[in-house]
Structure 1
Amino acid sequence: MMSKQCELSKEEKIKFICSLLQQAPPGEFRNVFEDLRILVRDDHLMRYEAAQVCANHTRNNFTAVNIKGENALVTRYNDLGGNRFFDPQIKLSFRFDHLSKRADKILLYCGVRTDNSELWRETLNIILESYMKKHFLSGDCRVYRKTLRSNPFFVVCIEGHQYNDVWNSLWKSVWTIAFTPPTSQVVGKIDLQIHYFKKANLHWTASKDVKDCIYLISRVQFAMEFEKLVEAEENKLQTGLVESLQILSDDIWRALRRQLPVTRTVISWDKLLTS
């Protein structure tokens, strides 16, 4: 039992809670939150002081949500404030609970202007949805139209995830496209997080920055060129990761003080003890 002399102050608790929540792997925020709630034993502190960390975690990981049978994402690019978000593709807005990951109070969203740049955005979104079906078992994408000094640009958010009882992973990328015909600069970043927790605790991250330029001749041509760019860059990252992991694995096996079996498989100690 912790003595009063060792008990943390409120400020120390908040710092401790936020630090651990910020490190929560994708798909595991609720688990970390509930474990901390048991340790801290202060529901008010957990609910209110950690609320912003929870919201940031949700937006940063491009959390997927189902809205009336349609997929949508929760990001900082479609944040309306007050825990409300909008989806430009299905023309709906919704309130989102960052802890329970539930959406409610769904309303028709009238903030999307039907003009030329919106047609380009819709075409790009449709092409990328087909790309997601080809390359991701589970994932979503969204194209958001933004404006800077009256100049429109697009933000593309892509997320693919696998969450189960052995390992969790999140592959996400964000791309900014300046809508400045006849060419457009593309700036992107791809991030990968993997957490393996069966008989071990391995947390692995990787990232890749991208800068390129594409032509803006027609809507379909533009969307297909961007799709090819994303596919090429993601393939490069995946191929490089596979090669790096093989080299890393070989180095780790050789560096161990006691060599493991050449099969490199987990030894079932329970079977050996009972045989």
Structure 2
Amino acid sequence: MATVEEKISIASSFLKAAPPGEINDVFNDVRGLVGDDELLDGGILNALEEYNTEELATVDVPGIEGKAIVSKHGQIESDRFLHPKTNKVFKLDHFRQVASDVQDHTVDEGIEELRKTIEKDTEDYMADRYAEGVSAVYGSNGKITIAIVHNKYSPSNFWNGRWRSIWQLETTTSQVKGTLKCKVHYYEDGNVQLETSKEIDEKLSKTSADPNTAVSRALLDLIATAELKYQTALNESYHEMAENTFNGLRRALPMTRSKLDWNKILTYRIGAELSAK
């Protein structure tokens, strides 16, 4: 029989692998498996914290308009996160994903003007490409980090999906590194998950009299080009999988070209032959 520590470890792995929009369902399931709420609450907090920060969970924050992103790039403490647009820090209950205790935060004045410029251009980009998405632009220690997340949940149609991308600009070298991730769960009469990612490493080419404007426009142009290229490649892959890969994996229909109804097996010739034997 598994020890308590082993059960907690297994439950944590389930939580960290939870599909988009289904963390509460997975949590309730593993709560039943472990069976001890006190041990469960004490043992999986780290897993929930990792899930929220890696998946860029979005939460409502008192006094702040719109959603805020929970990201390790804005993590002040294990349960406190920065909302860079308002320079506020909020406390997060990782279990319930509820924000509270909003406080002021001191910003890095050295790159704050550049951060604000990039933030405005990022918001315009989001409005054009991700109407229901959420973004956050962080700035510290000479580095600008853009976090983008777009969730699309359709449980009535048995699918949920999440797009995430993280872009980091080293302001001293103009080097940009990006990580693009897409996760989709489809579970009608089955359980299919797709998780894919791509890394980007490029250098900005700036052309403008205003340095901040030049950097921001070059950065958002790079992001737009890279994300469109990746999304186009994903669409082509989906088409290929639907037309060829999944067809190759799917069990072929019988020669009658219709599914076998096992409740009516005796009406088929094979049923008569089996009954005769």
Partners of 2:66 and 2:22 lie apart in 1 by 24
**1:171 has 2:166 as partner:** no
Question: Higher helix fraction: Structure 1 or Structure 2?
Answer: 2
For this pair of structures, how many residues does the alignment match?
Answer: 250
Tell me which residue corresponds to 1:95.
91
SS of the residue corresponding to residue 244 of structure 1 reads helix
Partners of 2:175 and 2:131 lie apart in 1 by 30
Instruction: Report the Cα offset of residue 137 of structure 1.
Output: 3.3
CA deviations 1:151-210 (Å, max 9, x no partner) are x11111111111231211110111111101xx5111111000001122221100111111
Partners of 1:57 and 1:19 lie apart in 2 by 10
Partners of 2:178 and 2:125 lie apart in 1 by 17
Partners of 1:70 and 1:171 lie apart in 2 by 18
Tell me which residue corresponds to 1:25.
19
What is the aligned counterpart of 2:224 among 227, 231, 248?
231
Partners of 2:32 and 2:168 lie apart in 1 by 41
What is the aligned counterpart of 2:113 among 119, 129, 147?
119
TM-score normalised to the size of structure 1?
A: 0.85
Counterpart of 1:112 in structure 2: which amino acid?
V
SS of the residue corresponding to residue 123 of structure 2 reads helix
Tell me which residue corresponds to 2:186.
196
> Contact 1:70–1:90 at 8 Å: present in 2 too?
no
What is the aligned counterpart of 2:150 among 160, 164, 179?
160
* Structure 2 residues not aligned, in runs of 5+: 262-277
What is the aligned counterpart of 1:56 among 44, 50, 53?
50
> Contact 2:67–2:134 at 8 Å: present in 1 too?
yes
CA deviations 1:221-248 (Å, max 9, x no partner) are 2211111111111111111111111112
Counterpart of 1:14 in structure 2: which amino acid?
I
**1:106 has 2:98 as partner:** no
Instruction: Report the Cα offset of residue 8 of structure 1.
Output: 2.3
What is the aligned counterpart of 2:213 among 211, 220, 224?
220
Partners of 1:16 and 1:25 lie apart in 2 by 16
Partners of 2:253 and 2:8 lie apart in 1 by 44
Instruction: Report the Cα offset of residue 104 of structure 1.
Output: 0.6
Instruction: Report the Cα offset of residue 82 of structure 1.
Output: 4.2
For the pair shown, the structure with the greater C-alpha radius of gyration is: 2
Partners of 1:215 and 1:53 lie apart in 2 by 40
Tell me which residue corresponds to 1:34.
28
CA deviations 1:136-158 (Å, max 9, x no partner) are 132111111122xxxx1111111
Task: Give the 4+ runs in structure 1 shifted more than 4 A.
Answer: none
**1:85 has 2:75 as partner:** no
Instruction: Report the Cα offset of residue 215 of structure 1.
Output: 3.5
**1:136 has 2:126 as partner:** no
**1:211 has 2:197 as partner:** no
What is the aligned counterpart of 1:250 among 243, 252, 262?
243
Partners of 1:53 and 1:29 lie apart in 2 by 11
TM-score normalised to the size of structure 2?
A: 0.84
Partners of 1:77 and 1:103 lie apart in 2 by 17
> Contact 2:108–2:139 at 8 Å: present in 1 too?
no
RMSD over aligned Cα atoms: 2.1
> Contact 1:24–1:32 at 8 Å: present in 2 too?
yes
Partners of 2:148 and 2:243 lie apart in 1 by 32
Partners of 2:25 and 2:215 lie apart in 1 by 42
Tell me which residue corresponds to 1:71.
67
Counterpart of 1:190 in structure 2: which amino acid?
L
Counterpart of 1:236 in structure 2: which amino acid?
K
> Contact 1:96–1:102 at 8 Å: present in 2 too?
yes
Q: Report the identity percentage.
A: 27
